[in-house]
Amino acid sequence: MDDQLHRSLGLTDDELAKIIEILGRDPNHLELAMYSVMWSEHCSYKSSRIHLKRLPTEGKNVLVGPGENAGVIDVGDGIAIALRIESHNHPSYIEPYQGAATGVGGIIRDIFTMGARPIAIMDPLRFGPLEDARSRWVAEGVVSGISGYGNSVGVPNVGGEIVFDETYKGNPLVNVLCVGILPKERLVLGQASGIGNLAVLLGSTTGRDGIGGVSVLASAGFGDEEEDAEKRPSVQVGDPFEEKRLIEACLELLDEGLVVGIQDLGGAGLACAASETASRGGVGMDFNVSAVPQRESGMQPFEIMTSESQERMLAIVEPENLEQVFAICNKWEIRSSVVGKVTPSGALRIVDDFDGEVLGEVPAASLHEDAPLYERPISEPDDMDTAITDQATTLSGPEKIEDDLFDLLMSPQWATSQYDSQLFLNTVVGPGSNAAVLRLKHPTSGEDTGRGMALTTDGNHRWCAINPRIGSAMTVAESVLNLACVGAVPQALVNCLNFGNPENPVVMWQLSEAVDGMAEACNAFDLPVVGGNVSLYNESQGTNIDPTPIVGVIGLINDLSKAPPGLTWNDGDRIILLGPEANGLNGSAWAFMKGHRRGSLDPIDFDLHKRVCALTRDLVTKELVTGLHDISTGGLGVSAAEMAINSGVGCTLARTPDHIAFFSESPSRVILAVNPELLTEVEQLAAEYDVPHERIGLAHGEIFTVKNLLTVPVKDLQEKWDNRLSDALDGGTTQG
């Protein structure tokens, strides 16, 4: 065997030795190709697995935790909810439209694989600065790809984030979260059991697209242009219409009880699906490559086994149900072919016809369970000590604070109006508020439970760049507070850990710290982690992105007979600020705007945060506030401006002495708009919860005034807010 082959496939010498040990012989090319994709960072989590173990995953409502295609929780009334988040960062830099589109397709398959109907997606996005031509081009393509695929496949997009920052210039982040709903008793797991059962491949033909995609694209950063050019063949094209029919066909197969297990084909294609279903079921499989419908002629077995062609599923079917399976697939115009047979051996045998030549044979479980596990070196950055002394509060204040406020305003509407956010008639609060709120209807009967679910995604690279541990904890805290703002109790969390090159000890330190911070917060808030995704090698030309853990949190609302209050106030409302005193500017959007990216963060006071959340939830449930907004990006200034813009009513804020108080993003704070008649009740409640609160102003008129700081008409704020993205993006974009 060519002794360089394993290296060109991305396997180390040690990894090859391990394969030889497992097989007791040299692997052939096909076997080596399967190990290389299955043992890639993307599929095996070889650098992150030992850290992920520290996340809390148990909860009384958890039906399926991490490790399956998606996490599943029990939400009562016989209903279960599946959720998962995934990244498609690298493909989206190369071909923004298709990269993002196939990202949506992939995460949706993870959800219906569990037997759940996908009912919502969210898209936390990160791009380079708007001033950069290539970043604009990427942003525009990504948003239209998400729109094009998501709308057409018929899953509403109910929220997300859109952030522009220097750190993502050579490496954007495209994370997509999907939520599905299922009758609790129909939960299926991706496993093959029952010797003699058949593996049926459903959906698209298999082509050369995305061969080695996971190992090539997601497990290495970007270099120069020529290297990028070589990654081109890995680009896949999405077909949302195929996916739509695949969803309907698969859900009908599950409704009719015709499949014993089902598995989507994502990273590592058939190699992954076949070996995973077999090893989960504790069985083996004979896999007939020649039965796989091919889009191109002359494909090699290794290409067929590792292709990442989109819109395919593998169903495990009892032979007596095969005809019925075919009938349902025909109805939905879905291709279906028997490609495998479940065997007792524990081996994955790749054959050319079931009674033909054996092309490769490996222990199915070895592709996952024996994947290498690395405890990569970790080291704190050298400049930790000096960074701490570099406080953003020492920056000189703005000359004209209103200009800084203008620069921090950005409506996401340019993106969100391109997404169908309303399909299925569930969306009570769509994109653009504290958290998305959906009606909770029974998945089969359609009956409204009168309850609601709330969803939020959050990430903050600014905090995590300064202190990944505290930053991650604060991120989780922000999510929990976002949910409280719509009256929801958090139930479960999924995360996507977007980090740089794991071979860099500082990046590994960031990852490890972030996991610890997330774990601390989840423990404090009693929030199980039910799934996630790790995206490493987010680097370009040797520069790693700021650590960017993204979390998605789902909550439940007990009584959704009315829509929760939003980012709004009425003329005459009193404005109240809940929570601790503003504390510093480190990691704030304002500081970053001024080029200050260092400093320190104070640990979050979990007890206080929990009281703020509980109070906020209570205020919302008791209908004591006109509107409210958590204080996050841009601080009190931006939160108050958003309330003014949204309601078209100005305000006078009296107790905001300086730009620090105005732009600080310290956590656990909420701005409330309260009808004067309810003021005493609100303040009493705040006192009962032992939450600091302060009257800071009055909503009225058409002018946004902060005493001794600024006076601007609301319509000027509105204009900046509305036009930021369309001014930058609607004139057309080029690749730079």
Ligand X SMILES: Nc1ncnc2c1ncn2[C@@H]1O[C@H](COP(=O)(O)OP(=O)(O)O)[C@@H](O)[C@H]1O
Q: Which residues are catalytic?
A: 42, 88
At residue 533, the 3 state secondary structure works out as strand
Specify the stretch interacting with ligand X by CB under 6 A; choose among 430-438, 494-502, 508-516, 527-535.
Answer: 430-438
Do residues 86 and 154 lie in contact, with contact meaning Cβ atoms separated by under 8 Å? no
Minimal CA–CA distance to 207: which of 125, 311, 130? 311
Q: Is the dihedral of CA 347, 348, 354, 358 positive or negative?
A: negative
Alpha helices (H) in 294-345, listed in sequence order: 301-306, 322-331
CA distance 169 to 183: 43
Per-residue three-class SS string for 576-643: EEECCCCCCCCCCHHHHHCCCCCCCCCCCCHHHHHHHHHHHHHHHHCCCCCEEEECCCCHHHHHHHHH
CA distance 706 to 519: 39
CA 126, distance to chain mean position in Å, is 12
Q: Which two tokens stand for residue 216?
A: 């090539």
> Restricting to residues 558-587, which ones interact with other proteins according to CB under 8 A?
560, 562-563
CA distance 86 to 151: 18
**Residue 665 interacts with Mg ion (CB under 5 A)?**
no
Provide, rounded to whole angstroms, the least separation between the CB of residue 589 and ligand X.
10
**Residue 639 interacts with Mg ion (CB under 5 A)?**
no
**Residue 335 interacts with other proteins (CB under 8 A)?**
no
**Residue 170 interacts with ligand X (CB under 6 A)?**
no
**Residue 373 interacts with other proteins (CB under 8 A)?**
no
Spell out, one character per residue from 443 to 472, where the chain touches ligand X: x when CB under 6 A holds, - when not: ---------------x--------------
Q: Which does 248 bind (CB under 5 to 8 A by kind): Mg ion, ligand X, other proteins, none?
A: other proteins
Specify the stretch interacting with ligand X by CB under 6 A; choose among 91-99, 303-311, 609-617, 627-635.
Answer: 627-635
**Residue 95 interacts with other proteins (CB under 8 A)?**
yes
Q: Which does 123 bind (CB under 5 to 8 A by kind): ligand X, Mg ion, other proteins, none?
A: ligand X
Provide, rounded to whole angstroms, the least separation between the CB of residue 239 and other proteins.
4
Q: Which two tokens stand for residue 335?
A: 């291709």
Neighbours of 166 (CB within 10 A): 16
- How many chain residues touch other proteins (CB under 8 A)? 59
Q: Which does 415 bind (CB under 5 to 8 A by kind): other proteins, Mg ion, ligand X, none?
A: ligand X
At residue 107, the 3 state secondary structure works out as helix
Complete edge-to-edge strand list for the sheet that includes strand 427-429 = 427-429, 436-441, 448-459, 548-557, 489-498, 529-535
Q: Which two tokens stand for residue 562?
A: 């009315």
Task: Among 458, 520, 573, 665, indicate the residue that binds Mg ion (CB under 5 A).
Answer: 458
**Residue 160 interacts with ligand X (CB under 6 A)?**
yes
- Closer of 292 and 415 to ligand X (Cβ): 415
CA distance 238 to 102: 5
Side-chain half-sphere CA neighbours of 126 within 13 A: 30
Specify the stretch interacting with other proteins by CB under 8 A; choose among 169-177, 201-209, 376-384, 642-650.
Answer: 201-209
Neighbours of 213 (CB within 10 A): 29
**Residue 98 interacts with Mg ion (CB under 5 A)?**
no
- Segment holding 5, helix H or strand E: helix 5-8
Do residues 441 and 573 lie in contact, with contact meaning Cβ atoms separated by under 8 Å? no
Task: Among 92, 482, 540, 586, indicate the residue that binds Mg ion (CB under 5 A).
Answer: 482
**Residue 662 interacts with other proteins (CB under 8 A)?**
no
**Residue 352 interacts with other proteins (CB under 8 A)?**
no
Provide, rounded to whole angstroms, the least separation between the CB of residue 567 and ligand X.
9
Total count of residues recorded for the chain = 736
**Residue 326 interacts with other proteins (CB under 8 A)?**
no
**Residue 159 interacts with ligand X (CB under 6 A)?**
yes
- How many chain residues touch Mg ion (CB under 5 A)? 2
Task: Among 57, 151, 535, 626, indicate the residue that binds other proteins (CB under 8 A).
Answer: 151
**Residue 101 interacts with ligand X (CB under 6 A)?**
no
Specify the stretch interacting with ligand X by CB under 6 A; choose among 152-160, 212-220, 503-511, 555-563.
Answer: 152-160
Do residues 100 and 145 lie in contact, with contact meaning Cβ atoms separated by under 8 Å? yes
Spell out, one character per residue from 226 to 265, where the chain touches Mg ion: x when CB under 5 A holds, - when not: ----------------------------------------
Task: Among 379, 422, 541, 684, indicate the residue that binds other proteins (CB under 8 A).
Answer: 422
CA distance 472 to 482: 15
CA distance 330 to 348: 29
Q: Which does 735 bind (CB under 5 to 8 A by kind): other proteins, ligand X, Mg ion, none?
A: other proteins
Provide, rounded to whole angstroms, the least separation between the CB of residue 312 and Mg ion.
35
Task: Among 219, 288, 416, 491, indicate the residue that binds ligand X (CB under 6 A).
Answer: 416
**Residue 148 interacts with other proteins (CB under 8 A)?**
yes
- Closer of 171 and 433 to ligand X (Cβ): 433
Produce one character per residue of 330-346: b if its CB has 16 or more CB atoms within 10 Å, e if not. Answer: eebebebebbbbbbebe
Provide, rounded to whole angstroms, the least separation between the CB of residue 74 and other proteins.
24
Task: Among 333, 380, 383, 403, indicate the residue that binds other proteins (CB under 8 A).
Answer: 333
- How many chain residues touch ligand X (CB under 6 A)? 19
Specify the stretch interacting with other proteins by CB under 8 A; choose among 329-337, 458-466, 499-507, 540-548.
Answer: 329-337
**Residue 641 interacts with ligand X (CB under 6 A)?**
no
Q: Regarding beta strands 529-535 and 489-498, do their DSSP bridges make them parallel or antiparallel, or are they unpaired? A: parallel
CA 401, distance to chain mean position in Å, is 34
Specify the stretch interacting with ligand X by CB under 6 A; choose among 60-68, 428-436, 581-589, 668-676.
Answer: 428-436
Provide, rounded to whole angstroms, the least separation between the CB of residue 455 and other proteins.
16
Beta bridge partners of 438: 427, 453
Side-chain half-sphere CA neighbours of 618 within 13 A: 16
Q: Which does 394 bind (CB under 5 to 8 A by kind): Mg ion, other proteins, ligand X, none?
A: none
CA 356, distance to chain mean position in Å, is 44
Minimal CA–CA distance to 664: which of 593, 584, 576, 581? 584
Provide, rounded to whole angstroms, the least separation between the CB of residue 721 and ligand X.
11
Task: Among 154, 223, 432, 692, indicate the residue that binds ligand X (CB under 6 A).
Answer: 432
Alpha helices (H) in 291-422, listed in sequence order: 301-306, 322-331, 384-389, 401-408, 413-416
> Restricting to residues 473-512, which ones interact with ligand X according to CB under 6 A?
482
> Restricting to residues 222-251, which ones interact with other proteins according to CB under 8 A?
229, 232-233, 235-242, 244-245, 248
**Residue 475 interacts with Mg ion (CB under 5 A)?**
no
Q: What is the DSSP string of 222-245?
A: B--HHHHHHTGGG-----HHHHHH
At residue 284, the 3 state secondary structure works out as strand
Spell out, one character per residue from 717 to 736, where the chain touches Mg ion: x when CB under 5 A holds, - when not: --------------------
- Closer of 517 and 552 to ligand X (Cβ): 552
Percent of the chain that is helix, strand, coil (3-state, to 5): 40, 25, 35
Q: Where do contacts with other proteins occur on this chain (CB under 8 A)? A: 94-95, 97-98, 141, 144, 147-148, 151-152, 154, 204, 207-209, 229, 232-233, 235-242, 244-245, 248, 295-296, 309-310, 331-333, 416-425, 427-428, 439, 446, 560, 562-563, 730-732, 734-736
Q: Where do contacts with Mg ion occur on this chain (CB under 5 A)? A: 458, 482
Q: Where do contacts with ligand X occur on this chain (CB under 6 A)? A: 123, 125, 157, 159-162, 412, 415-416, 431-434, 458, 482, 630, 632-633
